Amino acid sequence: MDYYFEIRVLPDPEFTETTLLNAAYSKLHRVLMDVGEGRLGVSFPNHDKTLGDTLRVHGLEQDLSSLRDQPWLKGLRDYTAVSPLAEVPAHREYRLVSRVQAKSAHNKRKRSITKGWLSEEEAFEQISDDQQKQLTLPYAQLRSLSNGSLMRIYVKHGELLDSPTKGKFSSYGLSKSATVPWF
């Protein structure tokens, strides 16, 4: 993870910052595993209540060059500014950027019935819809490639660390174990 580049969404009167970042992240998701094979991570340096206006992609120079050579940002060039490839600054910290998923009441009921823990009637009585945990993390809203439904990818930026940890990244560029440089 010695290099990075950034995709910053530009202000636009027709589209919100969130809409444009979601579109860029969605396009990145489609090519990430083919190009980086789990070696490319992402972060959102301007995150707060939303993911902000910048998507930072981290990795090795060769992987990032290969990603940048792909036409995956086609259709968004007028709405984004892509920085040149740059070395990660020498003075930096590290951060785990991961996906957080809340189990829905529907999924809890379905699992309880499938495992035989509860009957269908018991599951509806014991697992109410208001048991669902509401997440307050920033998220990207993407369309599922498998079934076309909208889904939220909640993103948690972990505590700052002094040293990196290795691991694999998902097709969203997120990881439960691997850190990205934070600067």
Backbone angles phi, psi at 102, to 5 degrees: -95, 135
Instruction: State which H helix or E strand residue 158 sits in.
Output: strand 150-161
SS3 (DSSP) at 120: helix
Which 8-state DSSP code applies to residue 129? G
Rounded-to-integer distance, Cα 81 and Cα 138, Å: 22
For CA atoms 121, 126, 129, 135, give the dihedral sign.
negative
On whether the CB atoms of residues 2 and 132 are closer than 8 A, the answer is no
Rounded-to-integer distance, Cα 68 and Cα 80, Å: 14
On whether the CB atoms of residues 116 and 133 are closer than 8 A, the answer is no
Q: Is 58 a catalytic residue?
A: no
> Which of 29, 47, 58, 91 is labelled catalytic?
29
How many CB atoms lie under 10 A from the CB of residue 5? 18
| Active site members | 29
